[in-house]
Amino acid sequence: MYDYVIVGAGSAGCVLAARLSEDADVKVCLLEAGPADTHPLIHMPIGILWMMRSKVLNWNFHTRSEPELNGRELFWPRGRTLGGSSSSNAMCYMRGHPNDYDEWEKLGNPGWSFRDVLPYFKRSQNQERGPSALHGVGGPLNVADQRHPNLLSKTFIQAGIQAGLPFNDDFNGVEQEGVGLFQLTQKNGRRCSTAAGFLKLARQRPNLTIVTGAHARRVVFEGKRAVGVEYIKAGKTEQVSAAAEVLLTAGAIQSPQLLMLSGVGERAALEAARIPVHTELAGVGKNLQDHLDVIVVDTCRKAVSWGITVKTTLMGAWNLLRYALGGTGMFTSNGAEGCGFAKSAPEEAIPDLQFHFSPARLSRHSLDLGFMVGDGYSLHVCNLRPRSRGEIRLNGSDPYDKPDIRANYLSDPDDMERMVRGVRLARKVMAAPAFDPYRGITLLPKGPCSTDAEVREFVRQRAETIYHPVGTCKMGSDPLAVVDAQLRVHGLQGLRVADASIMPLLVGGNTNAPVIMIAEKASDMIKAARRASQQAGAAQTQRQSAQRPQVAQPVA
C-alpha cells in the first residue's frame, strides 16, 4: 500500500515523485510504461535524431487523417522512458508569455496567474546566469546557455534584426518579442531531463518505488474514490493501491485515454468502446490544442552547417571526443538553436508567432535522412495560439490500442491566415542580407509560392506538429472542464491530473517548462491537502476524546 500512485514518469511525473517523496513518512509509487533512461543517446543532445526513430523509447503516435492538411496522418512522437518527452525533446527552456497564465485565471482558475506560477518556475530552475526577479537558482532543472552554437544560428539572429525584430537575450525575461538563442535544459553539455534533474537523487529514497515496463490499464475505484491502478507488466496484470491519491501524469494523449479506459468520460464515447460508464464527464479528451509548424529550408553554399556532409562525417570522431571529455562541440546541439517571437500583424498585443532555427536541412521531423544530406539551414514557424480544437478518442477498450488522435488543425480559418503571415515573415528573415554569403537555393517551399493561395497549399502539404499537445483534461468549472483549480477530477475523490492536459489554453511557447511548473504547483497542493487531512483527523480525535464520559475515581 502506497500513499500516492503516479501514472507516467514523464516531465510531470518525475517532478511529482521527487517532491512528494521528500516527506519520509509518505510512500510513493511511480509507474512508467517505458524502460529506464539508461541508453546513452538519451543524454547526448544530438541523440534526439535517434530518439525520433526509436521503437522502444518513443510512442510513435499518428493522428487520424487531417482534413485541412490534404488528408495527411501526422507523426506525433512522444517520449516513452523515465523523463518522458523531456528525455527526447529539443531541451528548449521556454515558459510562454505571462498573459497566457493570466488568461488561465480569468477562465475561472484562481491561483494560476503568472504572479502565482512564477515562484514554481523559479523553484524548479537552476539558472546558470544567476538569480533575478524572474529566474531562480538551486533547483533541479539546470538551464544553460548553448555551449557551441553554429555560425548559421548567429547569422539567423542578424537576419532577424535586419527583418525588423529586436535582439532578445532572454525570452523568459521582461519582453518575449525578438530573436536570439534558446537557453537549454542542459548541464555540462548533457541533457537535463526531469529524470536526470529531479529523479536522480530521489530514486535512492526508500519511500519511492519506481516500476518501469508498467503499462497502465485502468484506475481502480471504490465508489467515487480512486484507490489504485491496475497495470500490465511482462504480460501479467498487477494492481497497486493508493491510500491517499492517484495522480495521472501520462500527458495530453494518455491521461484522457486512461480516464476513458477507467470509465470516466463522455457516455456515448465510452459506450461505443464498450466500456462501462463509471463517471460521466463530457470534456475528457476534448479541447485538444497543438502548435502547427511549417519549415522554410535553404541550401548553404559554405560547409558550415550541421547537415549530413563529408565534413561533419569526418569530424564525427573528433566531436564525439570533445563531447565525452568536455561536453562541447556539435554533439551538444539541440538541433533548434535559434529562437524568435514575432507579431504577425502590427495590431497584435503580444507575439503570436514563434520561430525555431536549425543549422541543418530538416524535413518530416528529421526522419527523411536523404533530405538532410548536404549543407543547409531551416526556419520553423508556428502560430502560438490556435483557435482550432481537436480531441482524443479511444480506438477500443484494449489499453494497448493507440488512441484516436484528431487534431483538427486549421479547422478555424484564422489559424491558416496566421500561418500565411508567419511563412511570409519567415521568408523575409531568410532573405535578409545576413544570409547572402551562405544562401544557395530554396528547397522549401518549392516553386515561387508568392500568392496567399500558394502559401496556403504549402502549409497544407508540409505543416507538422512542433510537439506541444495540451488541453485534453482542461482545468476549470465549465461543462467541458475535467479538473478544478486544485487539479482534482470533477465528481471523483482521490484522483488528480497534473500534466499538459490540464492547460485550458495553449501557452505561447514550448510546453516542457510549463508542465514542470504544473507538477511543482501540484505537489504543493497535494502536500497541503495531506496536512489539512491530518489536522482534521487530529481535531476529530481530540473531540472524541473530550466527549468520552469521565469515569469517577473511588474515594479512599
Name every residue whose Cβ is closer than 8 Å to that of residue 393 and which is 6 or more positions away in sequence. Answer: 269, 285, 403, 404, 406
Strands 292-300 and 338-342, by their bridges, are: unpaired
Residues 46-68 have a mean pLDDT of 95
Domain 1-144+183-289+390-407+468-556 of CATH type 3.50.50.60:
yes
How high is the pLDDT of residue 541?
75
Q: What is the pLDDT of residues 166-205, one digit of tens each?
A: 999 999 999 999 999 999 999 999 999 999 999 998 999 9
Name every residue whose Cβ is closer than 8 Å to that of residue 543 and which is 6 or more positions away in sequence. Answer: none
CA distance 523 to 18: 9
Residues 217-222 have a mean pLDDT of 98
> 512-547 vs 114-124: helix axis angle to the nearest 10?
100
In the structure, what pLDDT confidence band is assigned to residue 545 with cuts at 50, 70 and 90?
confident
CA distance 452 to 418: 11
Flag whether pLDDT at 244 surpasses 60.
Answer: yes
Give the DSSP H/E element, type plus range, for residue 313: helix 310-314
Beta bridge partners of 342: 353
Q: Which long-range contacts (CB under 8 A, 24 or more apart) does 162-166 make?
A: 162/432, 162/433, 162/434, 163/425, 163/428, 163/429, 163/432, 165/340, 165/342, 165/429
How far, in whole angstroms, is CA 113 from its chain's centroid? 19
How high is the pLDDT of residue 551?
53
Q: What is the pLDDT of residues 437-446, one digit of tens each?
A: 999 999 999 9
Q: Which long-range contacts (CB under 8 A, 24 or more apart) does 267-271 make?
A: 269/393, 269/394
Half-sphere exposure of residue 71: CA atoms within 13 angstroms, side-chain side: 0
- The yes-or-no answer on residue 380 being catalytic is no
Residue 81 DSSP symbol: S
How high is the pLDDT of residue 456?
98
How high is the pLDDT of residue 549?
62
Answer yes or no: are the C-beta atoms of 397 and 269 closer than 8 Å.
no
Least confident of 264-278, 422-436, 529-543: 529-543
- The domain locations on the chain are 1-144+183-289+390-407+468-556, 147-181+292-385+410-462
Residues 41-50 have a mean pLDDT of 93
CA distance 378 to 67: 26
Fold of the CATH domain 147-181+292-385+410-462: Cholesterol Oxidase; domain 2 (3.30.410)
Q: Is the peptide bond before 445 cis (omega within 30 degrees of 0)?
A: yes
Flag whether pLDDT at 72 surpasses 50.
Answer: yes
Q: Is residue 124 classed as helix, strand or coil in its secondary structure? A: helix
CA distance 423 to 93: 24
Residue 197 DSSP symbol: I
Q: What is the pLDDT of residues 306-327, one digit of tens each?
A: 999 999 999 999 999 999 999 9
In the structure, what pLDDT confidence band is assigned to residue 17 with cuts at 50, 70 and 90?
very high
Tell me the percentage of the chain whose pLDDT exceeds 70: 98
| Inter-CA distances, 120 with 56, 123, 134, 139, 476, Å | 32, 5, 11, 10, 20
- Average confidence score pLDDT of the chain: 96
How high is the pLDDT of residue 385?
98
What string of DSSP letters covers 200-254?
Answer: HHHTT-TTEEEEES-EEEEEEEETTEEEEEEEEETTEEEEEEEEEEEEE-SHHHH
Q: Residue 245 is placed in which grid cell?
A: 491519491
Q: Residue 489 is placed in which grid cell?
A: 477530477
Q: What are the two backbone dihedrals, phi and then psi, of residue 447, each rounded to the nearest 5 degrees?
A: 80, -175
How far, in whole angstroms, is CA 467 from its chain's centroid? 7
How high is the pLDDT of residue 555?
47
How high is the pLDDT of residue 556?
44
Residues 426-450 have a mean pLDDT of 96
Among 97, 135, 291, 468, the one annotated catalytic: 468
> Model-level pTM greater than 0.75?
yes
Q: Measured on CA atoms in the order 190, 292, 365, 294, is the torsion positive or negative?
A: negative
CA angle 168, 179, 462 (to 5 degrees): 150
How high is the pLDDT of residue 309?
94
Q: What are the two backbone dihedrals, phi and then psi, of residue 202, each rounded to the nearest 5 degrees?
A: -65, -30
Beta bridge partners of 102: none
Flag whether pLDDT at 289 surpasses 50.
Answer: yes
Give the DSSP H/E element, type plus range, for residue 426: helix 413-430
Answer yes or no: are the C-beta atoms of 99 and 113 closer than 8 Å.
no
Strands 178-181 and 141-143, by their bridges, are: unpaired
Buried/exposed 42-61: b ≥16 CB within 10 Å, e otherwise: bbbbbbbbbbbebeebbbbb
Residues 461-469 have a mean pLDDT of 98
CA distance 96 to 470: 14
Residue 337, number of CB atoms within 10 A of its CB: 26
Flag whether pLDDT at 416 surpasses 80.
Answer: yes
Buried/exposed 82-107: b ≥16 CB within 10 Å, e otherwise: bbbbbbbbbbbbbbbbbbbbbbbbeb
| Inter-CA distances, 272 with 190, 233, 267, Å | 46, 27, 9
**Which is more confident, 366 or 512?**
512
CA distance 258 to 264: 9
Taking the CA atoms of the chain, what radius of gyration do you get in angstroms? Answer: 24
How high is the pLDDT of residue 537?
77
Largest CA distance in the chain: 110
